[in-house]
């Protein structure tokens, strides 16, 4: 199988590396220095699977640009974090093209795709989700079937809110460094490293903007006095917390 990846950023190159373990894989990017091929047409023409791995607000335009190419019988997938920006674009593709929308629930810092969770969702009215599941399972991923509706509702919490809180922490910490580092303890160590890691992601502010009502719910929760019922055993969570800290050298 031949896999073509549109987007030569960190995630696109990471996907190329993982796909190349068992398939032929190539990348096309508007920046020639990050491309294996000279044009999008060349990439699509030589691929059985086309993965759109650009920013979530640009992915829809890339999908539309495939409409006039020889895309029949090929599987087109996006990995956009927020699907509202990409789903309408799939209607521009001919019915002979397969399509699915997927979300790898990890970043390019993962050592490999083996055992990592990938959510696969149907594009309404299109075939291709089953083929997408088979593709990612073939790479060794742990595939979960999901619905776009649930994904759009809850990714605001799992990603949008996480980025919003992390960026806010980074901005606060930057104002008071290095005295915060001097007096910081375990929680600060953990959170400051997480917050700093987001600063290397140019899309971080865009992810944070998508938190929306999840951020409002977060602010309301700060005023609540009652502790919630823990979703996992607190003792186990505490053990895992210190295990994570030890990997950070703390």
DSSP string of 145-199?
Answer: EE-HHHHHHHHIIIIIIHHHHHHHHHHHHHHHTTHHHHH--HHHHHHHHHHHHHT
Domain edge (last residue) among 122, 146, 170 = 146
- Looking at residue 137, its pLDDT comes to 98
pLDDT digits (tens, 9 = 90+) for 12-36: 999 999 999 999 999 999 999 999 9
- Tell me the per-residue pLDDT of 182-240, one tens digit each, with 9 for 90 and over: 999 989 999 999 999 999 888 999 999 999 999 999 999 999 988 888 788 999 999 99
Position 195 scores a pLDDT of 95
Do 39 and 120 fall into the same domain? yes
Residues 41 and 135 in one domain: yes
Residues 40, 125, single domain; the answer is yes
- Answer yes or no: do 141 and 157 share one domain: no
For residue 163, what pLDDT is reported?
96
Given this model, what pLDDT does residue 245 score? 87
Assess whether 10 and 106 both reside in one domain: yes
Q: Are residues 55 and 178 in the same domain?
A: no
Structural domain of 154: 150-247
Tell me how far CA of residue 196 lies from CA of 200, 203, 226, in angstroms. 8, 14, 31
Q: What is the largest CA-CA distance in the chain?
A: 61
Please indicate, yes or no, whether residues 137 and 177 belong to a single structural domain of this protein. no
Q: What percentage of the chain exceeds 70 in pLDDT?
A: 100
Residues 98 and 195 in one domain: no
* Residue that terminates a domain, selected from 146, 177, 203: 146
- Look at residue 216 in the predicted model and tell me its pLDDT: 94
For the cut 90, the answer to whether the pLDDT of residue 59 exceeds it is yes
Mean pLDDT of the chain: 95
Same domain, 176 and 52: no
| Structural domains counted in the chain | 2
The answer to whether residues 124 and 39 belong to one domain is yes
Q: Please count the CA atoms within 13 angstroms of the CA of 72 that sit on its side-chain side.
A: 2
Give CA–CA dist 25/48, Å, rounded: 10
pLDDT digit string, tens, across residues 154-177: 999 999 999 999 999 999 999 999
For the stretch 98-137, pLDDT in tens is 999 999 999 999 999 999 999 999 999 999 999 999 999 9
Same domain, 238 and 178: yes
Same domain, 99 and 161: no
pLDDT of residue 229: 83
CATH code at position 11: 3.40.50.720
Asked if the model's pLDDT at residue 67 lies above 90, the reply is yes
């Amino acid at each position: 199988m031949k896999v073509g990846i549109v987007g030569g950023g960190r995630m696109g190159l990471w996907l190329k590396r993982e796909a190349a373990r068992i398939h032929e894989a190539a990348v096309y990017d508007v920046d020639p220095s990050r491309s294996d091929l000279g044009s999008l047409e060349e990439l699509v023409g030589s691929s059985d699977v086309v993965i759109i791995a650009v920013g979530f607000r640009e992915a829809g335009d890339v999908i539309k640009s495939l409409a006039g190419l020889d895309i029949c019988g090929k599987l087109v997938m996006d990995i956009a974090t927020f699907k509202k920006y990409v789903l309408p674009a799939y209607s521009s593709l001919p019915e002979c093209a397969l399509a699915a929308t997927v979300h790898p629930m990890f970043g390019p810092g993962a050592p490999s795709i083996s055992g990592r969770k990938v959510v696969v969702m149907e594009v309404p009215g299109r075939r291709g989700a089953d083929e997408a599941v088979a593709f990612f399972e073939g790479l060794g991923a742990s595939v979960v079937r999901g619905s776009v509706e649930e994904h759009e509702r809850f990714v605001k919490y799992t990603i949008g809110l996480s980025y919003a809180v992390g960026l806010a922490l980074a901005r606060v910490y930057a104002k008071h460094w290095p005295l915060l580092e001097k007096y910081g303890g375990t929680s600060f160590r953990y959170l400051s490293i997480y917050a700093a890691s987001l600063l290397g992601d140019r899309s971080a502010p865009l992810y944070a903007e998508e938190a929306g009502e999840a951020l409002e719910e977060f602010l309301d929760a700060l005023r609540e006095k009652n502790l919630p019922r823990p979703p996992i055993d607190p003792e186990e969570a505490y053990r895992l917390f210190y295990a994570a800290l030890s990997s950070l050298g703390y």
